[in-house]
Structure 1
Amino acid sequence: MKKYKTIVFDLDGTLLNSLEDLCDSTNAALNKMGYPLRSIEEIRSFVGNGVWKLIERAVPNGTTKEETERCFTFFEAHYEKNKENKTRPYEGIIELLQELKKRGYRTAVISNKYHEAVGTLTGHYFSGLFNAYLGETEGIPKKPAPDGVRRILELLHCQPFSAIMVGDSDVDILTAKNADLRSVGVTWGYRTRELLKQVGADYIIDEPKELLNLLDEGL
């Protein structure tokens, strides 16, 4: 009998490499505002806490809240039309999800990206491979608060002791801790192995297929 029944995945940096599209839309918004553009490495360091925080970090220091909101509006409009230009699943992710489904695991996505975008991207790239998804939703605090994970587990009728969380960032590992889940950090995303170790990931993997090995070993 499987020790774990549900696998909860982060989206950006874990399932999808969306960094270039996020960078392009951020810079389109910054350009519209007349602000300096950001490098892709800067954008990499800004993501993980939702798109509002991404824009808040990308605008120049001292930018007013009103101007930040204008920039965010430009970002949202651009990203809505361009979020699938360069975004792709990481190598091995589709095969991993197919195998998890074949083995009878329930899978879910939780992201700090706004809920509608999570639904669009999940449906486009992973049709039929997830049992539930949740993005930024009014009334549910974003990761690393545990509320979103708890909502997902409720939807899937799953207890924390029979679920694990997989993500690429400190935000994901802290979310897992706050929700009393075991955590698996992945090194192919937007953060470093050192950071994942520092924040206390229970396991760290370098390739998607290694998750199957961990599950086979009972973590």
Structure 2
Amino acid sequence: MKLVIFDIDGTLVDSQAFILEAQRRAFAAHAMAAPSREASLAIVGLSLHEAFSVLAGPDGPIESLSEAYRAAWAEIRANPDYEEPFYPGAREAVATLAENAGVTLGVATGKARRGVDHLFARTGWADVFRTVQTSDDHPSKPAPNMILAALAEIGAGPATTLMIGDTSFDMEMARAAGVRPIGVAWGYHDRAALEAAGAERIVADFAELLHFIGP
């Protein structure tokens, strides 16, 4: 049995427009200039405390920025037009893997549980992903805690577990947990960053990922 653990933002869904807008609102609430797009996307995957420690500096108003960011996300999600777009092939790949008797699916994400629940309500994925680990319950990536909890919950071994993600934090987390780090080429960190973080392989699209995972 293979355990295939997915990151969400930048891997399954392209949430960058909403992340950038929530950051903009959080910084505006503190009369601070928003960081650049590059800086903002570079920290996707970290928990809010770690992310704002990078963006605002260790002496910045980290906790109040985090609260303002959460409030901004709540406002964004309340908009009836809100919908995080899926990357091409993402939903089909999840459906294919869900039907594979040799694969168990999991999630390890810096997204809050509320955001995961919203996504699962839209997709019906609550019964598809057997283990769901979020930043609400664990230290930030790249600490291995989320993956270690998933392994314990499923009873899977590291050698047969793949972590699929788009950032260096995902790759470093996977290596720290002793599982196989698989990068995706369409997310928020570039190929060089993924390779430097120890990616075993970087796939170009979901078709290549499915072929790599195999039966």
Provide TM-score, normalisation by structure 1.
0.87
SS in 1 for 2:34: coil
Structure 1 Cα separation of the partners of residues 46 and 187 of structure 2:
15
- The answer for the alignment partner of 1:22 in structure 2 is 19
SS in 2 for 1:11: coil
- 1:173-184 to structure 2, matched below 5 A, reads 173-184=171-182
SS in 1 for 2:50: helix
SS in 2 for 1:110: strand
What are the ranges of 5 or more consecutive residues in structure 2 without an aligned counterpart?
Answer: none
SS in 1 for 2:106: strand
- The answer for the alignment partner of 2:211 in structure 1 is 213
CA contact (8 A) 1:51 1:113 kept: no
Matched, 1:78 2:72: yes
- 1:111-130 to structure 2, matched below 5 A, reads 111-125=109-123, 127=125, 128-130=127-129
Matched, 1:87 2:84: yes
The CA deviation at 1:101 is 1.0
CA contact (8 A) 2:12 2:87 kept: yes
SS in 1 for 2:111: strand
One-letter amino acid matched to 2:43:
F
Aligned pairs, number: 210
The CA deviation at 1:33 is 1.1
Matched, 1:10 2:7: yes
- The answer for the alignment partner of 2:150 in structure 1 is 152
- The answer for the alignment partner of 1:54 in structure 2 is 51
The CA deviation at 1:35 is 0.8
One-letter amino acid matched to 1:72:
S
- The answer for the alignment partner of 1:136 in structure 2 is 135
Match 1:101 to one of 94, 98, 101: 98
The CA deviation at 1:198 is 1.5
- The answer for the alignment partner of 1:36 in structure 2 is 33
The CA deviation at 1:57 is 3.0
- The answer for the alignment partner of 1:169 in structure 2 is 167
CA contact (8 A) 1:20 1:86 kept: no
SS in 1 for 2:129: coil
The CA deviation at 1:11 is 1.2
What are the ranges of 5 or more consecutive residues in structure 1 without an aligned counterpart?
Answer: none
CA contact (8 A) 2:50 2:140 kept: no
The CA deviation at 1:97 is 0.5
One-letter amino acid matched to 1:209:
A
Cα distance change, pair 137–74 in 1 and its aligned pair in 2 (3 A): closer
Identity within the alignment, %: 24
Structure 2 Cα separation of the partners of residues 172 and 193 of structure 1:
13
One-letter amino acid matched to 1:147:
N
Provide TM-score, normalisation by structure 2.
0.88
Q: Deviations over 1:98-133 (max 9, x none)?
A: 110112221011012223322332343452432221
- The answer for the alignment partner of 1:68 in structure 2 is 62
Q: Deviations over 1:106-162 (max 9, x none)?
A: 101101222332233234345243222110134x32222222111112222212122
